[in-house]
C-alpha cells in the first residue's frame, strides 16, 4: 500500500444535483480513507468557504460538476486554483462535449470523469491524481484522439520535443485510459519507471497533466489516431 493510499483523503464535492450528491456522500461514508469535508450545490458557496480558510489544513481533491447554476464549473476552475492551489481537480460531469473537454484540459484540471463512472473508478481516480497522475475516462481519452482534428495555433506555443520510443509507448497507454499500475504491467516495467517517463513527457511537451499531453501530442502529429482493436 502506498503512502497516498493509506492517507486520509480530504474531498469536497461541487454538484447541484441533490440525488447524485447524496449518492457520492453515501459512497464516501462507506469508503475508509476518504473524508468528504464539504459538499456544495453551487461554485459560489464552495469558493466562499475556500476563501475563508474553512478547509484548513487543506483540500486534497475537488470533484467538480460542469453544469452548475450561475457560475459554471469551467468558470470556477481558476478560482479553485487561486483559493486552494494545493487541491487536485477532477471534473465529474455528464458532459463529453468537445468544447467542455478541451476548455477543462487547457485550464489544468487533473482528471476528467463522466458521471457514468463507478464509485470504484472515482476512488481510483482520486488516488491517481493525488500521486501526481491524471484520471481520464477511457471514453474521453479516445474521444480526444478521434475528435480533436483542427490544429490550434495558440495551443502549442513552442515546438514539441520528440519523445523517445518508450515515452511514446507510455503516452499511448495513457491515451487509452490506463492507470500507472496498468501501464507498468503492460510494458513490463516498474511503476516508478512509469512515473519517471510521465515526468519527462510533461517536461518535453511543456504540459501540466495527461489530458494536455494527449492533446498536444496529437496536434503535433507525434501521437497518431488509432482505431480501437
Q: Which of 14, 11, 114, 122 is nearest to 68 (CA)?
A: 14
Q: Where are the domains of the chain?
A: 3-145, 153-219
The pLDDT mean for the chain works out to 82
The model's pTM: 0.64
Q: Which residue has the higher pLDDT, 34 or 102?
A: 34
Residue 16's alpha-carbon distances to 60, 61, 65, in angstroms, are: 21, 18, 8
User: CB count, 10 Å around CB of 108?
Assistant: 15
Class of domain 153-219: mainly alpha
Cell 516498474 sits at which residue? 190
> pLDDT band at residue 128, thresholds of 50, 70 and 90?
confident
SS3 category, 55? coil
CB 160 within 8 A of CB 220: yes
pLDDT in tens, 9-30: 999 999 999 999 999 999 988 8
- Phi, psi angles (nearest 5°) of residue 9: -95, 120
How big is the chain, counted in residues?
Answer: 229
SS3 category, 12? strand
Q: H or E element: which one contains 105?
A: helix 98-106
SS3 category, 23? helix
Query: Quick one: cell of 203?
Result: 517536461
What's domain 3-145's architecture? 3-Layer(aba) Sandwich (3.40)
SS3 category, 88? strand
Please tell me the predicted confidence (pLDDT) of residue 228. 40
Amino acid at each position: 500500500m502506498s503512502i497516498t493510499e493509506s492517507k486520509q483523503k480530504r474531498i469536497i464535492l461541487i454538484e447541484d444535483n441533490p440525488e447524485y450528491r447524496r449518492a457520492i456522500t453515501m459512497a464516501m461514508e462507506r469508503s475508509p480513507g476518504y473524508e468528504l469535508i464539504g459538499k456544495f450545490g453551487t461554485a459560489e458557496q464552495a469558493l466562499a468557504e475556500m476563501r475563508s480558510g474553512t478547509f484548513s489544513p487543506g483540500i486534497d481533491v475537488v470533484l467538480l460538476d460542469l453544469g452548475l447554476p450561475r457560475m459554471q464549473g469551467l468558470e470556477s476552475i481558476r478560482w479553485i486554483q487561486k483559493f486552494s492551489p494545493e487541491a487536485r481537480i477532477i471534473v465529474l460531469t455528464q458532459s463529453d462535449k468537445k468544447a467542455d473537454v478541451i476548455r477543462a484540459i487547457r485550464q489544468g484540471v487533473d482528471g476528467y470523469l463522466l458521471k457514468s463512472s463507478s464509485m470504484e473508478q472515482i476512488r481510483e481516480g482520486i488516488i491517481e491524481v493525488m500521486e501526481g497522475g491524471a484520471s481520464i475516462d477511457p471514453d474521453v481519452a479516445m474521444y480526444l484522439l478521434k475528435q480533436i482534428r483542427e490544429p490550434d495555433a495558440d495551443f502549442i506555443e513552442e515546438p514539441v520535443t520528440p519523445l523517445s520510443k518508450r515515452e511514446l509507448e507510455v503516452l499511448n497507454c495513457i491515451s487509452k485510459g490506463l492507470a500507472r499500475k496498468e501501464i507498468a504491467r503492460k510494458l513490463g516495467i516498474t511503476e516508478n519507471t512509469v512515473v519517471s517517463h510521465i515526468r519527462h513527457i510533461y517536461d518535453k511537451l511543456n504540459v501540466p497533466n495527461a489530458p494536455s499531453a494527449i492533446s498536444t501530442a496529437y496536434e503535433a502529429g507525434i501521437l497518431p489516431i488509432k482505431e480501437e482493436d
